[in-house]
Amino acid sequence: EHAVLHLLYARFFNRLLRDVGLLPADGAHDEPFRHLLTQGMVLKDGSKMSKSKGNTVDPQGLIDRYGADTARLFILFAAPPEQHLEWSDSAVEGAYRFLNRFWRLVHEYGATPPALPAELSAEAVNLRRAVHQCIDRVSRNMDGRYHFNVAIAAIMELTNSLMKVPADAPADLRAVLGEGLRALTLLLAPFAPHIAEVLWQKMGQSGVISHAPWPVADAEALRCDTVTLVIQVNGKLRERMDFPVDADHADVERAILADPAMQRHLEGKTVRKMIIVPGRLVNVVAG
């Protein structure tokens, strides 16, 4: 209701300015905003936080215990900006643990990674694709969409993938790990600027991180020769199978029918048709 009234007032004054000739009457200025983001409220035990109700939370205690970066990351990750945020002190622990994991990862592997070689193993190619998929996903969800929670989730997901790289990994994997850590530190900087700055210096980067260019996803690294399809039988998940991206429907059907695991799922059944959703799933209708 509060946001609706603000929009109503803004539209009223915008129309007034247009009608008295202070704004062009060209149709492009009929509305006060090109895009309006109405942010949600912070709730405590299901009720809106309000000084009059005396149910506000002083963030200073949170900052003193966990740091400003943790407090900021938690608030932005807890909910999309247009939805209400249910305050939970215990949920802060998750953001705190993540930042600690990332801190340890950079201190363990990020200082002197080898240079990225011209040729990469299949495992390194897949990991590098994940790095640039993360860059692409974070950039898209921050630029104009303001889905900060989705961007932070992508950062956490890639961090978990990089943590699986063993200490004795081949040089190409360690090089991709270093590339990923640099990218993640840049992506994390808007949400946790203090930690990101320290880690940026730890990795031997010059200048302050706020002046560093935003990472750009490499289109070649994003390219994938295969696609994983979910295989269902009568709507129930049975398998996941990889196919060439240029495989046609006939190739997909033949591969499914020839797969030993799928043959077990279809034993005693007659395949009536296959419903293929390109790039996503195949539903085998059998009876």
pLDDT above 80 (res 154): yes
Token readout for 233 is 């039988």
Encode pLDDT of 99-124 as tens digits. 999 999 999 987 777 888 989 999 99
Q: How far apart are CA 21 and CA 169, in angstroms?
A: 68
What class has domain 226-286? alpha beta
Report the alpha-carbon distance of residue 70 to residue 65 in Å, rounded: 10
Q: Which two tokens stand for residue 89?
A: 């002190």
Residues 6+ apart with CB under 8 A from 68: 194
51: exposed, middle or buried (C-beta count within 10 Å: 0-12, 13-18, 19+)?
exposed
> If you search the block for the tokens 């704004």, which residue do you land on?
23
Largest interatomic CA distance in the chain: 78
Task: Render pLDDT for 224-250 as a digit per residue (tens, 0 to 9).
Answer: 888 899 999 999 999 999 999 889 999
More confident of the two residues 25 and 163: 163
Amino acid letter, 18: R
Judged against a pLDDT cut of 90, whether residue 188 lies above it is answered with yes
pLDDT single digits (tens) 169-187: 999 999 999 999 999 999 9
Single out the residue of 37, 30, 52, 47 nearest to residue 6, CA to CA: 37
Percentage of the residues of the chain whose pLDDT score is greater than 90: 69
Q: Where are the domains of the chain?
A: 1-36, 92-222, 226-286
Domain 92-222 class, CATH top level: mainly alpha
In terms of average pLDDT, the best of 8-12, 38-42, 44-48, 194-198 is 194-198
Mean pLDDT computed over every residue of the chain: 91
Q: Above 60 in pLDDT, residue 259?
A: yes
